[in-house]
Structure formats: C-alpha cells, structure tokens
A and B are shown apart, each in its own frame.
Chain A
Amino acid sequence: MQRIIVKNVSKKFKIGFEKNQGILAKFISFLSGKTPQRILQVIDNISFNVETGKIVGIIGKNGSGKSTLLRIIAGIYNKETGQINTHGKIVPLINLYSGLNERLTLKDNIYLYSSLFKLSLKEIKEKFNSMVGFSELKDFVNTKVYQFSGGMKQRLAFSIAVHCNPDILLLDEVFEIGDEIFKHKSANKIKELTKNGVSVLLASHELWIIEKYCDRVIWIDKGKIVKQGDPKNIIEEYKRAK
C-alpha cells in the first residue's frame, strides 16, 4: 500500500528582497513597514510515493525545499497545485525541538505535545515512562526545558514523536544534533517502527544515516526532484555535484 502519494505538487512563497528603490519609495516602505516582495517557487511539480513500512530519505542543499515539502505533507502549509494523499496518522518532527515550550517542564511538554499528536490522557499516562526512558532524561522530568541543551531537547522531541502511534513519520534534520549513540538508537527505533508498517520520510544532511537506513532517496534541488532511487548511487552523485 502507498502511505504517501505526492502528485505534481507545487508551492510558491512571497519573499522580501533588496530592491533598488528611489528615495520616495524607500520612505514609503519605511513608513508602511512593507518591503518589496517577489515570488519564489519553493516546490516545483514534485511527485513521488512512499510505501508502507519504507524509509525514504530526502537530501538536498539548505533552501532546496525539503522542510517545505515535509510541512506541505504534514498539512502545516497549503500546496498551490497538485495532490497529496496520505493513509494513516501523520506525526511530524519538524523543528519540534525548538517548538517545545521552554517554560514548561519535561513532564508538561510530554503531556502537551502528546495531546497535540492525538494521544488520549490514558495513553499518555501509559506511555509516559517509556517516553522518558527512551529520551534518557529520567533525572529531568520536573526540570524546565529552557535548562536543557539542544541535544536534550532533540531527544525529548524525538521520543515524544515516535511514541505517539504514528503511521507516517516526517523527520526533518533530527540527526543533526545529538551524540552518536543516540543517533544510532533513534535510527534503530525508526527501523523498528517500519517493521510495524510505519512509513518514514527523513530529510537529513547526515548522508551516512540516509545511506545506511533508507530504502530509497530523493534528491531535491531548487524545489525540483533531481533524482530518486538507490541511496548509495544517489548519494554518490549528490556528493560529486556538491
């Protein structure tokens, strides 16, 4: 079964840019607070599928459209054109570690974000110890998250996401922060989830993880798919192109 079907999806943004303006135009811009804007085609006619129980990697330079694509699939951004069909519960981990509420404790963040990921109170209570255990932050349950390091926040965010019964996991640069041991542990957890039919879309710059764990890789550049296929071959070509 295809868990994710993306067909001819495109997305544009209006972005500000430096424009040569006359003095009057600059004065009006300053007073109004509005800056000149242009259209940027962030995602350009992208199509691909992800089957049940597969891990598909997404690679590309910064600004190539990886995060935007994941946000569109997660339903956070609207697409301009095209179709997206998904089957099952989507749990996105897109900048979640920076989205945690820093003035709340680890425990409060688990309850809050698990609720947002549609777990019931009963389920959260049942999985609480497991989430804390996986994140290896047992000693910090009542500590406020602003006192955590970036790696600790990432552990917490990842642990919450994988315990929220996902059918589709959208991971955006989750392996960029954190120690090697936790990276391996997280990657193995993802592999374990796929054995239960969870599909994973993983955007990352950690090419060794993509090559080792992904069934297929999509290379995106300037919003378009350059190539997709076998991880080893695609990554080699990507490295040569870089």
Chain B
Amino acid sequence: MFRKFLSLSFTLAKAELKLRNEGSYLGIFWYLLNPILTFFILLAIFSSRFSQGISNYPLYLLIGIIIFNLFRQATAESTRIISDNKKLIKSINFPRQTLIGSIILKILFSHIFEIILFIILLFIFKVPLYGIIFYPLILFLFCFFIYGVSLILASLTVYFIDLCNVWSFISFLIWFGTPIFYTVETQGKLFKINLLNPMYYFITIARDLIIYARVPEAWMILGALFYSLLFLAVGLYIFNKLKHKFAELI
C-alpha cells in the first residue's frame, strides 16, 4: 500500500514539476535563487551582529535557511493543493493524501540543489564532508513532520479558506523565532520557547552532525522523533476525518 502511495505521489509530483518548469529557460536556477538571495542578505545584515561565538557562521546560516525553506515551501503549497486540484478531486476517487505526498517529493527534488550548494560551501570552508552522510536520516524524519503539518493545513484550508493567508504570517513568525541567523544557547527565554518549536530540533541536529561533527544530545534526537511522530499521527487523523467532504466543498 505504501508502494502504491509512493508511486502515485511520484506521478503527481512529476506532472507538477513539468508544469512548474514549463516555458522556463532557467529552470533549475530558480530553485536556488531564493536560498542564495536569502543567504547573502542575511549574511550581509546579521553576520557582524550575530556571528560572534558561532564558528562557520555562513554554514550555520545556510543550513538553517535551506531546512526552513523546505518546511515553508511544503506547508505553503499544502494550503492550496486541494483547491488547485478541484477538477481532479471531483472526477476521480483516488487517495487524496497522495497530493500532499507529491508536494513533499517535488520540494525534495528542488532541495537536492540546495544541498549541493551547501556541500560546495562545506568544501570552501574546509569542513569535513563525512557529516553530510547523516543528512538523509535527518531528512527522513523531517519529512514525516512536514507531511503531518501539510496534511493538517491541506484539510483545514478546505473548511477555513483564510488559513491560507494566516499560515503565511504564522510561518513568517516561526521563521523569526527559529534560530536561523542567531543562536539561542545563551538566551534563556528564547531557548525555552524553542523547546516547543520542532524546527529548532531538526536544524540543531543537522548543524551538530554536519558542521560541528558532534553527536547531538539524546533529548534533541528524542524531541525530533517525538514531534515527527506526533504531527504525522495528528495529521493523518485530521485529514482522514475531513477528506470525505473535499469534493463537495471545493
């Protein structure tokens, strides 16, 4: 059943990628434009203020940007996925979850180019590359988390259309609250707040393993596992409860 889910999600993702690249001359370049621009702007503005005490700050910054980008893109698309596919949903009875699965696969494809960019930067900063071997594991767990959040957003947006606009604001707030261009180690209040922020766990684990070649603390790994499974379970529950009305409401 999982194979069929993956196969159909892949087919939908392939179709979406064809549509996205339709008529584009620069194609692949556009996937990198957003993280590159964000990286250089944040580096220029914040490196002097926030980079003290953070070794390899450009790498620290970039990994935070690209991991958060993955989350932001997937969840933003999930708020539109059901309404964007209303003709399909009203014509054929197929597993609706595969639409969300296709978003994850599509975003992962563009994420590959961001990772290549990151590996180039690792090479430039002479950081050992062996830490990147662990990234697929982190990504695997992270995808469960994103999938769960996307299921929740996709199903609730059918009932509350305003959620599409509200979510862009909420994800902006989460972006600021997550230590992407700063650190929270020395700041007690922000640190405690980030214990409730799943993004903090994934980004910190990635930084520890890949940039600083150290094993993340056990509570970090457990936290990441907890949030992944929690949001996956809640997402599946809410989506399965609400999906039966999609065709009638869109």
Task: Give bound CA distance, A65 to B244, whole Å.
Answer: 19
Task: Give bound CA distance, A212 to B110, whole Å.
Answer: 54
Cβ–Cβ contact A108 & B8, under 8 A:
no
Beyond A71-B247, A90-B93, A99-B90, whether A115 also contacts B7 by CB under 8 A is: yes
Any B CB within 8 A of the CB of A234: no
Chain A neighbourhood of B87, CB < 8 A: 95, 98-99
Q: Which of A74-82, A179-187, A225-233 contacts B (4 or more CB under 8 A)?
A: A74-82
Beyond A95-B91, A99-B88, A103-B19, whether A77 also contacts B248 by CB under 8 A is: yes
Chain B neighbourhood of A90, CB < 8 A: 93
Chain B neighbourhood of A202, CB < 8 A: none
Any B CB within 8 A of the CB of A96: yes
Q: Which residue of B lies closest to A93 (CB)?
A: B91
Beyond A78-B244, A115-B7, whether A108 also contacts B15 by CB under 8 A is: yes
16 A-B residue pairings within 8 Å (CB atoms): A71-B247, A74-B93, A75-B93, A77-B247, A78-B244, A78-B248, A94-B90, A95-B91, A96-B92, A99-B87, A99-B88, A99-B92, A103-B19, A104-B15, A113-B92, A116-B94
Interface centre among B8, B15, B19, B245 (most CB of A within 10 A): B15
Any B CB within 8 A of the CB of A111: yes
Which B1-21 residues sit within 8 Å CB-CB of chain A? Answer: 4, 7-8, 11-12, 15, 18-19
Any B CB within 8 A of the CB of A101: yes
Q: Give the shortest distance, in Å, between A189 (CB) and chain B (any CB).
A: 20
Interface centre among A92, A101, A120 (most CB of B within 10 A): A101
Q: Which residue of B lies closest to A121 (CB)?
A: B7
Interface of B is mostly: helix
Task: Give bound CA distance, A116 to B87, whole Å.
Answer: 13
Partner of A104 from B7, B8, B19 at Cβ < 8 Å: B19
Chain A interface residue count: which class? Answer: 20 to 34
Cβ–Cβ contact A116 & B92, under 8 A:
yes
Chain A neighbourhood of B90, CB < 8 A: 71, 76, 94-95, 99
Q: Give the shortest distance, in Å, between B88 (CB) and chain A (any CB).
A: 6
Chain A 106-118, CB within 8 Å of chain B: the 1/0 string?
Answer: 0010011101111
Beyond A78-B245, A115-B8, A116-B8, whether A94 also contacts B15 by CB under 8 A is: no
Task: Give bound CA distance, A75 to B7, whole Å.
Answer: 21
Cβ–Cβ contact A76 & B247, under 8 A:
yes
Any A CB within 8 A of the CB of B22: yes
Task: Give bound CA distance, A111 to B88, whole Å.
Answer: 14
Chain B neighbourhood of A76, CB < 8 A: 89-93, 247
Interface centre among A76, A78, A111, A112 (most CB of B within 10 A): A76
Any B CB within 8 A of the CB of A13: yes
Task: Give bound CA distance, A92 to B4, whole Å.
Answer: 20
Beyond A103-B19, A104-B15, whether A92 also contacts B91 by CB under 8 A is: yes
Cβ–Cβ contact A94 & B93, under 8 A:
no
Q: Give the shortest distance, in Å, between A160 (CB) and chain B (any CB).
A: 11
Interface centre among A95, A99, A104, A118 (most CB of B within 10 A): A99
Q: Give the shortest distance, in Å, between B24 (CB) and chain A (any CB).
A: 13
Q: Give the shortest distance, in Å, between B232 (CB) and chain A (any CB).
A: 24
Cβ–Cβ contact A111 & B11, under 8 A:
yes
Chain B neighbourhood of A71, CB < 8 A: 90, 247
Which B201-250 residues sit within 8 Å CB-CB of chain A? Answer: 244-245, 247-248
Q: Give the shortest distance, in Å, between B2 (CB) and chain A (any CB).
A: 15
Chain A neighbourhood of B247, CB < 8 A: 71, 76-77
Nearest 10 CB-CB pairings of A with B: A99-B91, A75-B93, A99-B87, A115-B11, A78-B244, A76-B247, A116-B94, A96-B91, A112-B15, A76-B93
Q: Give the shortest distance, in Å, between B4 (CB) and chain A (any CB).
A: 8
Q: Give the shortest distance, in Å, between B153 (CB) and chain A (any CB).
A: 20
Chain B 22-62, CB within 8 Å of chain A: the 1/0 string?
Answer: 10000000000000000000000000000000000000000
Task: Give bound CA distance, A189 to B34, whole Å.
Answer: 52
Task: Give bound CA distance, A234 to B221, whole Å.
Answer: 69
Chain A neighbourhood of B22, CB < 8 A: 103
Task: Give bound CA distance, A71 to B246, whole Å.
Answer: 13
Chain A neighbourhood of B12, CB < 8 A: 112
Chain A neighbourhood of B7, CB < 8 A: 115, 120-121
Chain B neighbourhood of A92, CB < 8 A: 91-93
Q: Give the shortest distance, in Å, between A16 (CB) and chain B (any CB).
A: 13
